[in-house]
Amino acid sequence: MRLWHGRWRRRVLALAAGTLAEDALRTPVLAHLETCAACRAERLALQSTIDLLARDPARAAEPPLSLSALRARVLARIDAAAGQSRPRRPRWAPGLWLGAAAAALLAVAVWWPRAPLAPAPGVVASPPSATVAAEVPDEDFIRHLERVVAREHAARYLGEAGDVLVTVAARPRRCRKGHDHVDVGEEAQRSRELLARRSLLDVHEAAVANARPVLDDVEQVLREVASLESCARRHDLQAINRQVERSRLLLKIGLMTRELQG
């Protein structure tokens, strides 16, 4: 009897779970329910459970980030993934030549005072060509200067990005749309300016290679901030702040900035 009833209970479970699709299987179960109070109670309990799932608030939950901010986040991830698979910039890239030229000029400017301005009285001056040959900085020195300048730029960029994120995390002012909106116009504008500078850091990719993961994370968040309207939903801002907190981005920015500054 127990075994027999156990079989019906399994069928009642299947009926409630919606897996008895065919009428030929459902009809005998429905007929049995007419005669079995325990089975009816069981079916009711199972059906109530399924009804609870239908009332789950998660079914109507709104994403805690606007579509535009989410789109910015997705596009940043796609770009980051594309950047990782892209071959490294060749050594002869124009940006590098410009950088090298700038560094060479800087190097000459640094070295210039050490070159004799005029021969001392009684001292026979060396031929000009020999002096120039001795004072032109070598390639290693130029590369060193390039590296120092690039790392300094990256540190400054990260520092400014950190400032934007701290300002975003602080309670911004309300704006005209009501209490659930905040004014982030200035932060969005600063983010856009920083993003415009971001590509310049790639000119000296090797010098800031160790900062790349932090730079990519910062870029992603800046894109989100940049995509906000000047009077943005507080929800959107909170989602960005949570992302910053979860990834410990401000801590990483601080550590990397110090490392870049040597």
Partner 1 sequence: MEPSDRELMAALASGDRDALSLLMERHYRRIYRVALSYLRDPDEALDVVQETFVKAFQHAARWDARSEVGSWLTRIGINQAIDRYRRVRRRRASEEPIEDGAGDHDRRWSDSGPSPERQVMGHEMGARLAGALRGLPERQRAIVVLRHYEEMTLEEIARTLGLSLGTVKSSLHRAVHRLRERLGELRA
Contact residues: partner 1, CB under 8 A = 10, 13-14, 16-19, 21, 45-46, 48-50, 52-65, 67, 70-71, 73-75, 77-78, 81, 239, 242-243, 246
If the CB atoms of residues 201 and 232 are measured against partner 1, the closer one turns out to be 232
Terminal CA-CA length for the chain: 81
Q: Residue 173 CB, nearest distance to partner 1 (Å)? A: 23
Backbone angles phi, psi at 230, to 5 degrees: -65, -30
Q: Residue 96 CB, nearest distance to partner 1 (Å)? A: 28
- Asked if residue 104 lies in contact with residue 142, where contact means CB atoms within 8 angstroms, the answer is yes
| Angstrom distance (rounded) from CA 124 to CA 127 | 9
If the CB atoms of residues 35 and 85 are measured against partner 1, the closer one turns out to be 85
Q: Residue 261 CB, nearest distance to partner 1 (Å)? A: 32
| Angstrom distance (rounded) from CA 98 to CA 87 | 21
Q: Residue 87 CB, nearest distance to partner 1 (Å)? A: 18
| Contacts (Cβ under 8 Å, ≥6 apart) of 38 | 5
If the CB atoms of residues 167 and 241 are measured against partner 1, the closer one turns out to be 241
**C-beta neighbour count of 3 within 10 angstroms:** 6
Identify the bridge partners of residue 181 per DSSP, sorted by sequence position: 233
Q: Residue 225 CB, nearest distance to partner 1 (Å)? A: 16
| Angstrom distance (rounded) from CA 68 to CA 71 | 5
If the CB atoms of residues 74 and 115 are measured against partner 1, the closer one turns out to be 74
Q: Residue 220 CB, nearest distance to partner 1 (Å)? A: 10
| Angstrom distance (rounded) from CA 96 to CA 146 | 9
- Asked if residue 234 lies in contact with residue 181, where contact means CB atoms within 8 angstroms, the answer is yes
If the CB atoms of residues 1 and 60 are measured against partner 1, the closer one turns out to be 60
If the CB atoms of residues 70 and 96 are measured against partner 1, the closer one turns out to be 70
